[in-house]
């Protein structure tokens, strides 16, 4: 019997597997495909990412550094309202490489990480969880004291155990053009209803164009308009779901969800890499596989840390739906240097941000 079976080896699955193995637990982690593939993520993250990686990661994964974002109410060519920091705000990284790196760290810590194993069944019993997977050698049946559902937005574990769904799923699309671009600003276009489109310079890895929006929005039409507006050719199109708004419960009797399965994402950007790994650390710290009551401590810990950020993130997202003249006014009034941490909207009231705003008023 394993202490933990981890389903899905994205950032939170790998991070939890690593931390639990380091704590001396017997961990099996099952990934349905090849780790990191297929890509459906921009890999645009705060520099905090390097606190979760191991030796040599930055040299291998880093693509570009970003100081700020130019907001546009319209498409390419429309007025830009820049928001920036006086230091590097974020990095653009190789997301496929990140997943492989994190999985390797889990293996080194002693977790048994297996690719090409799709979990098809999860049944909770009084004293254990039974997990069924299909792999290269056929059907695999294992037992664990607990199961971690790290299997993404359309989580099988969540469905098998009847856990509630996230509030909403956005549809995100991406494509790439090949020119080198070392600019240190991303562009954000508030053109699709209730969310946005983006352009991310990835250094020598080309330029990424993307867009996310809720169901009902004509994502393809808005994306084509973005590409046409920039007058470029793109290839390697890909897409994925972005869960927003965590359900009231992400734990059951002997199971818990981490990452997109639990909608541990930023409501105003859809980003989930940092929140998911932060939550994985809370899970590894709080959950004892021999004491199911500790699952409540995990629910508390991740919500204590992130719920306020997510609430404020929802309010920020509302600004994407304001009438255009109001958006122009607001962006015009607020643009300039800021001191906000991209993962922590509550830093809007931080001394660093207030100082930046004040010095602008004086200037």
Q: Rounded to an integer, what distance in angstroms lies between the CA atom of residue 215 and that of residue 326?
A: 25
Q: Sign of torsion, CA 210 216 217 220?
A: positive
In the complex, minimum distance from the CB of residue 151 to ligand FAD, in angstroms, rounded to a whole number = 4
Per residue in 185-203, is it b (16+ CB within 10 Å) or e — as a string? Answer: bbbbbbbbebbbbbbbbbe
Q: Rounded to an integer, what distance in angstroms lies between the CA atom of residue 309 and that of residue 348?
A: 11
10 Å Cβ neighbour count for 113? 25
Distances (CA, A) of 41 to 54, 198, 240: 21, 12, 8
Question: Is there binding between residue 202 and ligand FAD (CB under 6 A)?
Answer: no
Partnered with residue 7 across adjacent β-strands are 30, 149
Interface positions, 111-130, toward ligand FAD (CB under 6 A) = 118-119
Residues 129-168 vs ligand FAD: string with x where CB under 6 A?
Answer: ---------------------xxx---x------------
Report the residue count for the chain: 363
Q: Are 337 and 360 in contact (CB under 8 A)?
A: yes
Interface positions, 21-40, toward ligand FAD (CB under 6 A) = 30-33, 40
Tell me whether residue 152 or residue 192 sits nearer to ligand FAD (CB atom): 152
Question: Is there binding between residue 192 and ligand FAD (CB under 6 A)?
Answer: no
Tell me whether residue 147 or residue 356 sits nearer to ligand FAD (CB atom): 147
User: Which residue of 5, 6, 7, 219 would you call a contact of ligand FAD, by CB under 6 A?
Assistant: 7
User: Which residue of 2, 5, 6, 10 would you call a contact of ligand FAD, by CB under 6 A?
Assistant: 10
Q: Are 81 and 71 in contact (CB under 8 A)?
A: yes
Tell me whether residue 32 or residue 344 sits nearer to ligand FAD (CB atom): 32
Question: Is there binding between residue 292 and ligand FAD (CB under 6 A)?
Answer: no
Q: Rounded to an integer, what distance in angstroms lies between the CA atom of residue 15 and that of residue 23?
A: 12
In the complex, minimum distance from the CB of residue 73 to ligand FAD, in angstroms, rounded to a whole number = 22
Question: Is there binding between residue 263 and ligand FAD (CB under 6 A)?
Answer: no
Question: Is there binding between residue 341 and ligand FAD (CB under 6 A)?
Answer: no
Residues of the chain by 3-state class (helix, strand, coil), percent to 5: 35, 30, 35
Tell me whether residue 73 or residue 157 sits nearer to ligand FAD (CB atom): 157
Question: Is there binding between residue 246 and ligand FAD (CB under 6 A)?
Answer: no
User: Which residue of 94, 160, 260, 299 would you call a contact of ligand FAD, by CB under 6 A?
Assistant: 260
Q: How many CA atoms lie within 13 A of 348 on its CB side?
A: 10
In the complex, minimum distance from the CB of residue 42 to ligand FAD, in angstroms, rounded to a whole number = 3
Residues 93-112 vs ligand FAD: string with x where CB under 6 A?
Answer: --------------------
Q: Which of 329, 347, 345 is nearest to 73 (CA)?
A: 329
Question: Is there binding between residue 12 and ligand FAD (CB under 6 A)?
Answer: yes
Q: Rounded to an integer, what distance in angstroms lies between the CA atom of residue 355 and that of residue 315?
A: 23
Question: Is there binding between residue 187 and ligand FAD (CB under 6 A)?
Answer: no
User: Which residue of 68, 76, 166, 172 would you call a contact of ligand FAD, by CB under 6 A?
Assistant: 172
Question: Residues interacting with ligand FAD, by CB under 6 A?
Answer: 7-13, 30-33, 40-45, 118-119, 150-152, 156, 172, 174, 210, 240, 242, 259-261, 265, 270-274, 276
């Amino acid at each position: 019997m394993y202490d933990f079976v981890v389903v899905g080896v994205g950032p939170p699955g790998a991070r939890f597997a690593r931390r639990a193995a380091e704590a001396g637990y017997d961990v099996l982690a099952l990934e349905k495909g090849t780790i990191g593939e297929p890509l459906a993520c921009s890999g645009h993250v705060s520099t905090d990412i390097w606190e979760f990686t191991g030796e040599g990661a930055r040299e291998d994964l880093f693509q570009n550094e970003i100081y700020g974002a130019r907001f546009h109410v319209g498409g390419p060519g429309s007025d830009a309202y820049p928001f920036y920091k006086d230091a590097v705000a974020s990095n653009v990284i190789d997301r496929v490489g990140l997943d492989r790196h994190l999985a390797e760290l889990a293996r080194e810590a002693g977790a048994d990480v297996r690719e090409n194993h799709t979990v098809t069944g999860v049944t909770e019993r009084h004293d254990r969880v039974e997990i069924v997977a299909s792999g290269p050698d056929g059907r695999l049946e294992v037992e664990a004291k607990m199961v971690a559902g790290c299997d993404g937005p359309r989580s099988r574990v969540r469905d098998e155990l009847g856990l509630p769904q996230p509030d909403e799923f956005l549809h995100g699309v991406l494509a790439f053009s090949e020119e080198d671009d070392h600019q240190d600003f991303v562009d954000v276009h508030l053109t699709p209803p209730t969310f946005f489109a983006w352009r991310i310079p990835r250094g020598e890895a080309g330029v990424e164009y993307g867009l996310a929006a809720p169901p009902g929005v004509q994502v393809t039409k808005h994306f084509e308009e973005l590409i046409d507006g920039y007058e470029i050719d793109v290839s390697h199109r890909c897409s994925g779901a972005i869960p927003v708004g965590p359900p009231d419960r992400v734990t059951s009797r002997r199971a818990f969800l981490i990452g997109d399965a639990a909608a541990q994402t930023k409501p105003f950007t859809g980003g989930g890499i940092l929140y998911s790994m932060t939550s994985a650390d809370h899970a590894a710290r709080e959950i004892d596989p021999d004491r199911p009551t500790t699952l409540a401590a995990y629910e508390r810990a991740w919500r204590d840390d992130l719920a306020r950020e997510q609430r404020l993130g929802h309010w920020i997202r509302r600004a994407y739906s304001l009438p255009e003249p109001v958006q122009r006014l607001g962006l015009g009034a607020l643009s300039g240097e800021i001191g906000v941490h991209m993962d922590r909207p509550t830093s809007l009231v931080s001394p660093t941000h207030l100082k930046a705003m004040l010095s602008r008023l004086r200037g």
